Amino acid sequence: MYSIDLNSDLGESYGNYRIGNDDEVLKYITSANIACGYHAGDHNVMMKTVKKAKELGVGVGAHPGFPDLSGFGRREIRMSPEEIYNMMIYQIGALLGVANSQKVSVQHVKPHGALYNMASKNKEMAMAIAKAVKDLDKELVLFALAGSELYKAGVEHGLKVAQEVFADRTYQPDGTLTSRLQPNAIIHDLDFAVERVIRMVKEGKVRAVNGEDIDIQADTICVHGDEPQALSFVKTLREKLKQEKIMIKNFGVSSNV
């Protein structure tokens, strides 16, 4: 029996700014990556999102990113490993506090945007992130790009690591994601994206932008909550996965890792 976790980046509204359709998307996913106030989100949104996730039985995770509200955390910022470690402790700690107030356990951590992509290639950054997660709670699951430096760092630190794949992103031959600066970075064809996901889960393969098949391990699938088609995409994806007899469950129920 194949199984997969279905996650989405949520809680990314802040103040008077509304991003995404969290209340609806939460009905169809199993893990929520909740922004921690640096790239998006704030204390009110974090609390609301944690409460809604608890109500729907969705696993709660921290989604820390660079301190870059205007760039939505998607611009690279150079930081020392110490700064990255401290930044991770600060943001994850904020969500742990919110979740604890609601008697909710935080199950995972997934870095956001540029931080995630840089750590996928940079061992020093990856090790700083993994150490912060371990030092806060060694039982937290680290979400990392499949086969990346972040995945390797998590394993080296003895963490449970979920290898993440992306339904709506294209891949380079080395297994990294195509930069959002490139016109072919995002997949907009829903049916094509779903076909790719099913193949990643069942065959452990994905077609890179150069036409080459590369190996990939899929423990959790990301659907971006800020995209306009997020709701229709996640509904269709969930339906198709069930048709393919792929079980959808979060790591709090029974871990794939």
With CA atoms as reference, report the closest residue to 116 among 167, 179, 168.
179
Give the pLDDT confidence score for residue 225 in this predicted structure. Answer: 63
Q: For residue range 1-38, what is the model confidence (pLDDT) as tens digits? A: 789 999 999 999 999 999 988 999 999 999 999 999 99
d(CA 72, CA 222): 17
Residue 73, burial from CB neighbour count under 10 angstroms (0-12, 13-18, 19+): buried
Is residue 247 pLDDT above 90, yes or no? yes
Q: What is the mean pLDDT of the chain?
A: 93
Mean pLDDT of 49-71: 97
Give the pLDDT confidence score for residue 253 in this predicted structure. Answer: 46
Domain map of the chain by residue range?
Answer: 2-248
For residue 58, give Cα distances in angstroms to 5, 23, 105, 245, 247. Answer: 11, 12, 11, 21, 15
Res. 163 pLDDT band, cuts 50 70 90? very high
Cβ–Cβ under 8 Å, residues 226 and 9: yes
Q: Does domain 2-248 have CATH number 3.20.20.370?
A: yes
Res. 226 pLDDT band, cuts 50 70 90? low
Cβ–Cβ under 8 Å, residues 212 and 173: yes
Res. 254 pLDDT band, cuts 50 70 90? very low
d(CA 45, CA 49): 6
Q: For residue range 111-128, what is the model confidence (pLDDT) as tens digits? A: 999 999 999 999 999 999
Mean pLDDT of 135-145: 97
Res. 188 pLDDT band, cuts 50 70 90? confident
Cβ–Cβ under 8 Å, residues 162 and 220: yes
